[in-house]
Amino acid sequence: MRAAELTRQQFLDRLAEPETFLWATGIEDTFITCPWPATGRTLDEYELTGHYDHWRQDLDRMASLGVRVARYGVPWHRINPATDTWDWSFADATLGRMLELGIDPIVDLVHYGLPAWIDGAYDHPDFPQYMAEYAARLADRFCGRIRLYTPLNEPRVAAWFCGKIGWWPPHRRGWRGYLRVLLACCRGIVETVRALHTVDPGIVPVHVDATDLFDTADPALESEAALRQEHVFLALDLMSGRVGPLHPLYAWVLRFGASEADLAWFAEHAIDLPVIGINLYPMFSRKVLTRTSSGLRARMPYASADIVERLGEMYWRRYGAPLLISETASVGSVGRRRAWLADSVAAARALRERGVPVVGYTWWPMFSLVTWAYRQGTADAASYLRHMGLWDLRPGANGTLERVATPLVGEYQRLVAGGIDSVGRLAAASVV
């Protein structure tokens, strides 16, 4: 199934068929253009991992897995380095090569960082329009050839690092800062979807956010866990116009800086959610609330794959949209990664057997990444490698990072080659 060969409705109809499943992968593409004050370092994963130099070989490795879909980020800060300056060479080369290889890109338009010339980043009043213009220009270059776009990856995480703890521009802190950035991200997404559809009504947005599962063994904390779970859905609820007086977080968003006019704008400009991407990891995504002598604490124990099933059920009941596991992997040894691959795929199968339309699975990242601590640190990039991929990155000659295949490459190739048999046919849809 090549997305560009189908109309929007044909693509969505095909996704709903029991025999359809999208095996995918992707390359970590966090871009933070603002230097950390104490080190002067930025964070460009493509630069740190050598992808700018080795993109052709990396894409060949991607194709060797047999995947026909892949999430792939383009560096807005390089495409649009100044207000009226555009350089499409990298996007043209990489996305064009993916298409030649028979891979449909799900283009990741914004992955946290913005071009440095956008003063104030997400706080800039014209940020949504800047983002929409950039998206429309890219979509126009690939009109009729690329149909799948993620406007902004993980708005919750962007809001946390940019607005709650202040690590990334605009360096706000606290819940007011968090909500301010989240509202800006969601406005940018809404305006971008409208711009994309102006260029090509056949484009299918894939809305991707990080997800968490909040648990507690303390009955007194159950209401707090439920409230925090609602926050997991807030970005999707905003952009789809669901945050009104009956929403569980209505009072909260008004308390921390949203206005009635903001919520009315989202209701008036609500977009649909044709495909929802959920990013989940066993080492990050389960949050267990406990009461300690120093206050409330959220622990992150390594999770079992039942989080895939529980979260899948939650999203399906809430939105009734096809679900793509858009990022998942485990950190650590090959054995630990292999176990998570087997268990999480089995969980996706279990969901499909119950009629929950999990329509794809993405092992992310394809190869090791450089942790975000690099920007604040002083050691070389190799000292910050986190091995979560199918290939490991290892220091090689002349300071390069070599791609070393692990046994997981063969494991994933076999799953992809198995197609629907690897994950099971989708049963009749369960009642939403």
What residues contact 342, with CB distance under 8 A and at least 6 apart? none
| Per-chain mean pLDDT for the chain | 96
Instruction: Give pairs for 302-305: CB < 8 Å, separation 24+.
Output: 303/213, 304/343, 305/340, 305/343, 305/344, 305/346, 305/347
- Note the pLDDT tens digit of each residue in 143-152: 999 999 999 9
The confidence score (pLDDT) of residue 398 equals 82
In order of 77, 113, 213, 314, 368, the CA distances from 308 in angstroms are 34, 28, 10, 10, 23
* Position 429 pLDDT exceeds 80: no
- Note the pLDDT tens digit of each residue in 266-302: 999 999 999 999 999 999 999 999 998 888 899 999 9
Banded pLDDT at 189 (limits 50, 70, 90): very high
Longest dimension (CA), the chain: 60
Its sign, for the CA torsion 361, 363, 366, 370, is: positive
The CA-based dihedral angle spanning residues 243, 244, 246, 247, taken in that order and rounded to the nearest 10 degrees:
20
* Position 1 pLDDT exceeds 70: no
Structural contact between residues 347 and 313, judged by C-beta atoms closer than 8 angstroms: no
Structural contact between residues 39 and 173, judged by C-beta atoms closer than 8 angstroms: no
In order of 72, 165, 203, 214, 285, the CA distances from 173 in angstroms are 30, 5, 36, 23, 23
Q: In this structure, what DSSP letter does residue 272 have?
A: -
User: What's the average model confidence in pLDDT over 151-178?
Assistant: 97
Exposed, middle or buried, 362 (CB in 10 Å: 0-12/13-18/19+)? buried
The confidence score (pLDDT) of residue 397 equals 82
- Note the pLDDT tens digit of each residue in 319-361: 999 999 999 999 999 999 999 999 999 999 999 999 999 999 9
- Domains and their CATH numbers in the chain: 21-422 (3.20.20.80)
Exposed, middle or buried, 335 (CB in 10 Å: 0-12/13-18/19+)? exposed
- Note the pLDDT tens digit of each residue in 361-379: 999 999 999 999 999 999 9
User: What's the average model confidence in pLDDT over 305-312?
Assistant: 97
DSSP string, 82-125: BTTB---HHHHHHHHHHHHTT-EEEEE--SB---TTSTTGGGST
Banded pLDDT at 249 (limits 50, 70, 90): very high
The confidence score (pLDDT) of residue 48 equals 97
User: What's the average model confidence in pLDDT over 177-204?
Assistant: 98
What does the alpha-carbon distance between residue 352 and residue 228 come to, in Å, rounded to a whole number?
Answer: 27
The backbone torsions φ and ψ at residue 19, rounded to the nearest 5 degrees and listed phi first, read -90, 0
Banded pLDDT at 399 (limits 50, 70, 90): confident
